[in-house]
């Protein structure tokens, strides 16, 4: 099955909104074993959208639109699809009922009611968050057009809870996917280790890089879920063996979702002392349910005075080597552990940029230290190539801290060039 995505919205063309919808839909199609051949963005213009739809239906079996289903005058996707397919719009009773439930005692305008009108013969997908339902509309030649809302908060639940299971039944096969997540391993290195696996047809093995991490998706298709899972399992084990201790989890969300349960299992606690990351590490840890049982304290010691007052970092040390130094990062980690009675202490100090660099300390230089009260480990994050920005540097540094803690708890090597 050949698929195509049409993202609708002038705000996407102007750059006011980033088109994350296409990425979400593309990943879902890949997991289903559907080949995505084309993707485009079109503004809120009926004539241009109609031209895109007609071209898409000429070359693709499945066309998925995102956006343009709301109550405003520039929400024209549904009306344009109906016109291209030669179908009338009809009131959909269940969508109308959901719309009335959503508004409750509040008045509902005519523009809101238009959201409950769908092309004849549609299969509706309920919107669990907003007001506009999605739908799947059959087209000539056994083709299919699926309409999804634009806001990711509405699209994602509809996509995963409604569209994906419905499409999986349509394909006549069961799809099983597994995600192997790694940290501190480049996509190029991973591709070399997995080269003979990435050419497979069933299961497929694909590598992806995002935000300093690299992950591998293994996807298999079979007549039953059990058969598909049986195809995935040995390949997943092989991938994990080849990528070694860079693998931090399988079918997990992120590093913190692994680290917090490890702390809970071991009955251990953590205090963080952050400078350039500004509390991002603490935020990521406390995003995980159960963190209150293991997270003692999160200190943002941005100024030198705060490092001295809250952590006891000697003023003499700061004056001699500077806040961005291995000595200060180690002291921050050791004092976080000792002063606040935690099993583990983390200290982070660096230059997130874009300013603040010196002749010997470039933008992007970060020192991350971990202490267990006895030993102290240090990882140095150096800038490689072009500067990736303040947010990227901070996120990457917090991830290194989490990876160090994971490795220390599992008895793996902790210090490495970052």
pLDDT digits (tens, 9 = 90+) for 320-332: 999 999 999 999 9
Q: What's residue 384's pLDDT?
A: 79
> Which of 127, 154, 171 finishes a domain?
171
**Distance, CA of 328 to CA of 87 (rounded, Å):** 69
Q: Are residues 307 and 397 in the same domain?
A: yes
Q: What's residue 386's pLDDT?
A: 80
Q: How many domains does the chain divide into? A: 3
Q: What's residue 145's pLDDT?
A: 98
- Mean local confidence (pLDDT), 297-316: 97
Q: 206: domain CATH number? A: 3.30.70.2860
SS3 197: coil
Please say if the pLDDT value at position 177 is more than 90: no
Claim: this prediction has a pTM higher than 0.85: no
**Distance, CA of 231 to CA of 202 (rounded, Å):** 8
Q: Are residues 264 and 376 in the same domain?
A: yes
Q: Are residues 65 and 205 in the same domain?
A: no
Q: What's residue 27's pLDDT?
A: 85
**pLDDT > 70 fraction of the chain, expressed in percent and rounded:** 100
Higher pLDDT, 73 or 287: 287
Phi, psi of 295 (to 5 degrees): -100, 110
| Residue pLDDT, tens place only, 230-282 | 999 999 999 999 999 999 999 999 999 999 999 999 999 999 999 999 999 99
| Residue pLDDT, tens place only, 372-413 | 999 999 999 998 778 889 999 999 999 999 999 999 999 999
Q: What's residue 107's pLDDT?
A: 85
At 371, is the pLDDT very low, low, confident or very high (cuts 50, 70, 90)?
Answer: very high
Q: Are residues 145 and 197 in the same domain?
A: no
Q: Are residues 263 and 386 in the same domain?
A: yes
Q: Are residues 24 and 151 in the same domain?
A: yes
Q: What's residue 169's pLDDT?
A: 84
Q: Are residues 34 and 165 in the same domain?
A: yes
Higher pLDDT, 268 or 165: 268
Please say if the pLDDT value at position 171 is more than 80: no
* 300 in any annotated domain: yes
* 43 in any annotated domain: yes
* 415 in any annotated domain: no
Lowest mean pLDDT among 126-140, 171-185, 247-261, 290-304: 171-185
Q: What's residue 5's pLDDT?
A: 98
Q: What's residue 168's pLDDT?
A: 84
At 191, is the pLDDT very low, low, confident or very high (cuts 50, 70, 90)?
Answer: confident
Average pLDDT, the chain: 94
DSSP secondary structure code for residue 114 in this structure: G
Please say if the pLDDT value at position 286 is more than 90: yes
> Which of 200, 216, 250 finishes a domain?
250
Q: 272: domain CATH number? A: 3.90.950.20
Q: 79: domain CATH number? A: 3.40.980.10
* 417 in any annotated domain: no
Q: Are residues 296 and 351 in the same domain?
A: yes
**Distance, CA of 325 to CA of 215 (rounded, Å):** 32
Q: Are residues 17 and 147 in the same domain?
A: yes
Which stretches within 195-314 are classed as H helix? 225-243, 256-266, 280-286, 304-311
Q: Are residues 214 and 279 in the same domain?
A: no
Q: What's residue 35's pLDDT?
A: 86
* 416 in any annotated domain: no
| Structural domain containing residue 237 | 174-250
- Mean local confidence (pLDDT), 347-356: 96
| Residue pLDDT, tens place only, 122-139 | 999 999 989 999 999 999
Please say if the pLDDT value at position 34 is more than 90: no
- Mean local confidence (pLDDT), 109-134: 93
Q: What's residue 210's pLDDT?
A: 77
For residue 131, give every residue at least 6 positions away whose Cβ sits within 8 Å of its Cβ, in sequence order, or none.
70, 71, 99, 102, 112, 115
Q: Are 408 and 373 in contact (CB under 8 A)?
A: no
Q: What's residue 106's pLDDT?
A: 87
Which among 139, 242, 143, 151 is positioned nearest to 197, based on CA atoms? 242
* 418 in any annotated domain: no
For residue 238, give every residue at least 6 positions away whose Cβ sits within 8 Å of its Cβ, in sequence order, or none.
197
**pLDDT > 90 fraction of the chain, expressed in percent and rounded:** 80
Q: What's residue 109's pLDDT?
A: 86
* 357 in any annotated domain: yes
> Which of 171, 195, 223 finishes a domain?
171
Q: What's residue 356's pLDDT?
A: 92
Q: Are residues 297 and 370 in the same domain?
A: yes
Please say if the pLDDT value at position 216 is more than 90: yes
* 204 in any annotated domain: yes
Q: Are residues 264 and 391 in the same domain?
A: yes
Q: What's residue 127's pLDDT?
A: 93
- 365 alpha carbon, distance to own chain's centre: 25
- Mean local confidence (pLDDT), 2-17: 96
């Amino acid at each position: 099955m050949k698929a195509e995505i049409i993202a609708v919205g002038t705000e996407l063309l102007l750059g006011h909104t980033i088109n994350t919808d296409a990425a979400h839909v593309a990943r879902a199609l890949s997991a289903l074993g559907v080949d995505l051949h084309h993707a485009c963005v079109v503004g809120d213009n009926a004539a241009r959208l109609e031209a895109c739809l007609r071209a898409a239906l000429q070359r693709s079996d499945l066309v998925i639109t995102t956006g343009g289903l709301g109550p405003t005058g520039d929400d024209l996707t549904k009306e344009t699809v109906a016109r291209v397919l030669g179908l009338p719009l009809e009131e959909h009773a269940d969508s109308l009922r959901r719309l009335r439930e959503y508004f409750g005692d509040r008045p509902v305008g005519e523009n809101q009611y238009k959201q409950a009108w769908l092309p004849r013969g549609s299969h509706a997908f309920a919107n669990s968050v907003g007001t506009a339902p999605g739908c799947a509309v059959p087209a000539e030649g056994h083709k299919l057009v699926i309409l999804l809302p634009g806001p990711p908060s509405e699209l994602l639940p509809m996509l995963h809870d409604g569209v994906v299971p419905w499409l999986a039944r349509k394909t006549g096969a069961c799809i099983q996917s597994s995600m192997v997540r790694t940290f501190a391993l480049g996509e190029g290195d991973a591709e070399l280790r997995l080269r003979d696996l990435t050419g497979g047809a069933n299961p497929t093995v694909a590598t992806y890089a995002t935000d300093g991490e690299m992950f591998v998706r293994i996807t298999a298709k079979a007549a039953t879920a059990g058969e598909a899972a049986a195809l995935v399992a040995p390949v997943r084990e092989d991938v994990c063996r080849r990528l070694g201790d860079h693998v931090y989890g399988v079918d997990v969300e992120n590093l913190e979702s692994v680290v917090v349960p490890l702390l809970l299992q071991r009955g251990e606690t953590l205090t963080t002392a952050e400078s350039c990351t500004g509390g991002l590490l603490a935020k990521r840890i406390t995003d995980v349910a159960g963190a209150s049982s293991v997270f003692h304290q999160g200190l943002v010691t941005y100024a030198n005075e705060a490092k001295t007052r809250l952590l006891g970092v000697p003023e003499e040390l700061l004056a001699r080597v500077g806040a961005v130094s291995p000595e200060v990062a180690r002291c921050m980690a050791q004092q976080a552990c000792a002063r606040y009675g935690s099993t583990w202490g983390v200290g982070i100090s660096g230059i997130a940029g874009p300013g603040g660099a010196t002749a010997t300390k470039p933008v992007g230089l970060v020192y991350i230290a971990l202490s267990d009260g006895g030993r102290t480990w240090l990882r140095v994050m150096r800038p490689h190539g072009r500067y990736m920005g303040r947010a990227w540097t901070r996120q990457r540094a917090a991830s290194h801290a989490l990876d160090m803690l994971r490795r220390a708890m599992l008895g793996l090597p902790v210090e490495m060039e970052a």
